[in-house]
């Protein structure tokens, strides 16, 4: 398993070894020892999610109140997508920065994002599946979003794809509005929470 730290602090890309043969392919997109070595603690698994999206579908930018927040380990078992992580943690050394990784069913790369980070993706093909391993269950009262089309963020959505968004994501506040409203997580609180996981 190859591991690469992303430009957003506390986010990592994992590239597993693939084992193709005459029968097909075997791959292990999640391997706990590699994750623990990178982030310093295991992923507490409370829920798995699975989404299937049409080409052009953008989901996010989503984040949760931290603590407890929701760490995610995500990969694409079918199709292709561009996964985007945004540092929304006020006071973080990478606050406001984003990074993007192509996830697909060719290389089976995965991305880990710690609690407090924002997450979004765009499906690059029809019937693109996303698998999520989540550290906490869904908490509607603690989940928030910012619009993925906020021009101030300049997220790397492909120009040749017409975006498809939910009403919830379309009406979400901008990054600046969310910060002004006090919705964004505190980096200090996130770091204190990470320490309890070690």
| Tokens 């043969």 -> residue | 21
Catalytic site residues?
Answer: 62, 132
User: Under a CB-based contact definition with an 8 Å cutoff, are residues 114 and 146 in contact?
Assistant: no
The three-class DSSP label of residue 13 is strand
- Alpha-carbon torsion 179, 96, 90, 197, what sign? positive
User: Which H helix or E strand runs over 143?
Assistant: strand 143-145
| Sequence-ordered list of residues with C-beta below 8 angstroms from that of 151, at least 6 positions apart, any chain | none
The DSSP annotation for 34-80 comes to HHHHHHSSPPP--EEEEEEE-TTBEEEEEEE-TTT---EEEEEEESE
Q: What is the CB neighbour count within 10 angstroms for residue 70?
A: 26
């Amino acid at each position: 398993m190859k591991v690469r730290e992303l430009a957003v602090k506390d986010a990592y890309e994992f590239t597993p070894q693939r084992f193709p043969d005459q029968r097909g392919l075997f791959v292990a997109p999640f391997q706990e020892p590699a994750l623990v070595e990178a982030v310093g603690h295991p992923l507490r698994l409370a829920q798995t999610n699975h989404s299937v999206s049409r080409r052009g579908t953008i989901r996010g930018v989503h984040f949760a109140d931290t603590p407890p927040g929701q760490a995610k380990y995500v990969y694409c078992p079918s199709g292709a997508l561009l996964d985007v992580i945004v540092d929304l943690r006020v006071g973080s050394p990478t606050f406001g920065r984003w990074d993007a990784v192509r996830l697909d069913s060719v290389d089976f790369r995965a991305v880990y994002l710690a609690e407090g980070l924002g997450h979004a993706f765009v499906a690059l093909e029809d019937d693109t599946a996303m698998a999520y391993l989540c550290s906490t269950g869904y908490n509607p009262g603690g989940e928030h979003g910012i619009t993925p089309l906020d021009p101030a963020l300049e997220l790397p959505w492909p120009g040749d794809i017409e975006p498809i968004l939910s009403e919830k994501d379309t009406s979400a506040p901008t990054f600046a509005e969310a910060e002004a409203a006090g919705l964004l997580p505190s980096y200090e609180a996130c770091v204190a929470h990470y320490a309890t996981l070690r």
